[in-house]
Structure 1
């Protein structure tokens, strides 16, 4: 007897969403936070379509989806949230196309609005030195923590990339690391001397924590298991408090600091793009806007005809700081 199609149970629309959810959860190469956000967006879209008496995917056309996004805007969502919902919907439609679920709506017809943007908060060089240049102690986990944060700052890693590092990903003789980033893309990044020194201190301690000799993870917890993203976030805030920084820190801010400080010193935007793993150069260009006030001061002191009146200069800097620019990831 022929098995019934999965789209014959309940409504065809419900079954189509269930297929997509199973695929996204089990197979899609998305960061966990993005995956969770998309699942929530799909649930909202499904509820909206249900309220519109849509019971089959082939009832969904471009006009209906534009109406859904307009409804999101009328509900008070900002451009950033609507842009994410557009992206989530495109993923859904492309998956349905892949498994031959008929749906007239085109993924390419959904245009994302420009998101509200702001400058990333990059800690100053002095802050990074205060965080990382503390006297060495015999606390095993503190040695591990300083190794992790030195690596993020040294190589511009995302926290998800950090926790995915295996021991064999670090080539200490060459001073490079193989990093697995978004959508499973790998890249080679340089590792600085201080970070390599921290790795050398951590590896013998790692051996004492190891419970399973087949565990490849570079960074382990007390139970000998791979460290989680949440643990890294908590340990960074703890270290920030211990070093009396007077501020909380997120691991992503160390990545911002890497990009900002390297670009300020080198001016090589393309190299920074490669090290960060950005697909688009426009994403990296955010860091060219970070230090306008310093550039204005240099210009005023160096250019023979650049004696900007203080009131004018203050207005320029204020306008630059108010610009809203995308936080890169």
Structure 2
């Protein structure tokens, strides 16, 4: 199979992910990049797609490990390849699916990082709210924590999605799935101040975007990531902080406060409960540390007087 044929199939697969699977542009980009990696491996070995079997795929996996690719990234590449071969089989471009007998390396389970109540308070207070940008950033941080939003969701919000009176926001998550999230008084007040005092000064032009940059255009996800890092430094938090950590913090604090797991699942927009259950491991881990520190009969506590 020629390089031109590979390129044509990849372009068709790209359109399939966008149009039929309705994946986000980030997922489409990642999946097509991962499939391209495998196609380049085939080109180097002068092999065709018809020649692909589980042995050839395992050879590629071995090459990825030698290159030092992390197990989590390899698992994602395998997911992309499964999707690609499933697509080819369904479209009749291949008679068999070589991925049907392939299993990948087990992904190491890593517990989500989150901020303490003291840290999140310092982070939320870091923006200078005497400036339009500071009002925007305070509202943005409050919203990331209060509603547990993904950074892609928060930058996609429009003014019309916000109902301050009901303290709720309409959000479009992964695969354009709509959900309604709730916010508390602090987040609602921060949003109201931004909408009244900050946002009008960031742009004189009409824009439906909720969060604007200094040019009056929709703020970018990369800019939000930088802002979170910068405010974490201002707050004196001596570890890497990123927007998704505020989502982790939201879920962990909700469960610590006694929230129902199913309710947290709905608020986060998780398709299945397993994605939300990871946070129960975080709270259990916290509980264990507190027990070992406090209980007089635990091995780590010191005997009193």
Q: What TM-score do the two structures reach when normalised by structure 1?
A: 0.80
Match for residue 16 of structure 1 among 2, 9, 19:
9
What's the RMSD between the two structures over aligned residues? 3.0
1:294 shift after superposition: 4.4
The corresponding residue for 1:254 is 246
The aligned counterpart of 1:192 is: 184
The answer to whether 1:208 aligns with 2:198 is no
Partner of 2:271: 279
The alpha-carbon distance between structure 1 residues 212 and 27, as it changes in their structure 2 partners (threshold 3 A), is farther
Residue 61 of structure 1 contacts residue 104 of structure 1 at CA under 8 Å; is this kept in 2? no
The answer for the alignment partner of 2:32 in structure 1 is 39
Distance 1:76 1:301, change over 3 A: closer
Of residues 246-255 and 180-189 in structure 1, the stretch that sits farther from structure 2 once superposed is 246-255
Q: 1:28 to 1:225 in 2, by over 3 A?
A: farther
Q: Give the superposition deviation at 1:14.
A: 4.0
The alpha-carbon deviation at position 238 of structure 1 amounts to: 2.3
Task: Map Cα deviations across residues 287-308 of structure 1 (whole Å, 9 max, x no partner).
Answer: 12224464236657998xx722
Once the 2 structures are TM-superposed, how far is the Cα of residue 281 of structure 1 from its aligned partner?
1.6
Distance between the aligned counterparts of 2:74 and 2:293, measured in 1? 44
* Aligned counterparts of 2:234 and 2:270: Cα–Cα separation in 1: 33
Farther off after superposition, 11-20 or 87-96: 11-20
Q: What residue number does 1:53 align with?
A: 46
Tell me the distance in 1 between the aligned counterparts of 2:101 and 2:205: 50
| Mapped contact 1:62–1:104 kept (Cα < 8 A) | no
Question: Within 2, Cα distance between the matches of 1:218 and 1:276?
Answer: 20
TM-superposed CA distance for 1:90, in Å, is: 1.7
After superposition, what is the alpha-carbon deviation per residue over 1:7-47, rounded to whole angstroms, capped at 9, x for unaligned? 9x865344323432455578764344433332332222112
Contact 1:156 1:276 in 2 (8 A): yes
How far apart, in 2, do the equivalents of 1:292 and 1:10 lie?
52
Relative distance call for 1:150 and 1:73 in structure 2 (3 A) is same
Residue 324 of structure 1 corresponds to none
Q: State the shift of 1:146 in Å.
A: 0.6
1:162 alignment partner, one of 154, 165, 189: 154
In structure 2, what is the Cα distance between the partners aligned to 1:311 and 1:201?
47
Cα distance in 2 between the residues matched to 1:231 and 1:121: 21
Judged with a 3 Å threshold, the aligned counterparts in structure 2 of structure 1 residues 49 and 150 are, in CA distance, closer, same or farther, namely same
8 Å CA contact 2:129, 2:138 repeated in 1: no
Deviation, 1:70, is: 4.1
Q: 1:291 to 1:63 in 2, by over 3 A?
A: same
SS in 2 for 1:266: coil
Whether the aligned pair in 2 keeps the contact of 1:155 and 1:275 (CA below 8 Å) is yes
Asked if the contact 2:52/2:98 (under 8 Å) is kept, the reply is no
Mark the CA change 1:208 to 1:78 in structure 2 (over 3 Å): closer, same or farther. Answer: closer
Q: Which residue of 1 aligns with 2:299?
A: 309
- Give the corresponding residue for 1:227: 219
2:257 corresponds in structure 1 to 265
User: 74, 83, 97: which one pairs with 1:105?
Assistant: 97
Check conservation: 2:89, 2:96, Cα contact below 8 A: no
